[in-house]
Amino acid sequence: MFSFEPQSGRDPPEQANATAAAARDTKAVAQGIVQGLKTKRPLNINRATTTQLETLPGIDSASADRIVAGRPYKNSAELFRRRIISKAEYDRIANKIEAR
């Protein structure tokens, strides 16, 4: 005679819920890893094209042209110190750029 005995001491519906929760958690972790891998390095303002610079929040073609014309930069903060862009514009993109 065959009888079902849950391996974990849980009844089948409880075990199914735990399995579903573990699957959701695993999927969430995997999505977080994928998102982290998709995140690009900061954009190098000394080498980026105007098209690449225009992908930054609040940077239009005129701002991108000014950034390119003002090269080279020792650090990204020179963008607002040298009045290439405003402090507000710089604050929006500061974590997305670097000067290498």
User: One-letter amino acid identity for 37?
Assistant: L
Q: What is the dihedral of CA 48, 51, 57, 62, to 10 degrees?
A: 100
Q: What pLDDT sits at residue 59?
A: 96
CA-CA distance, 27 to 24, in Å (whole number)?
5
Q: What pLDDT sits at residue 27?
A: 72
Q: Retrieve residue 72's tokens.
A: 């080279």
Q: Retrieve residue 22's tokens.
A: 């573990």
- Together in a domain, 28 and 57: no
Q: What pLDDT sits at residue 74?
A: 97
Which range of residues forms the domain containing residue 24?
12-40
Residue at 5 is within a domain = no
Q: What residues are paired with 43 via a beta bridge?
A: 97
Q: Are 28 and 83 in contact (CB under 8 A)?
A: no
Q: What pLDDT sits at residue 85?
A: 97
- Together in a domain, 36 and 50: no
- Together in a domain, 51 and 64: yes
Per-residue pLDDT of the chain (100 residues; tens, 9 = 90+): 555 555 556 667 777 777 877 777 777 666 655 555 555 789 999 999 999 999 999 999 999 999 999 999 999 999 999 999 999 999 999 999 999 9
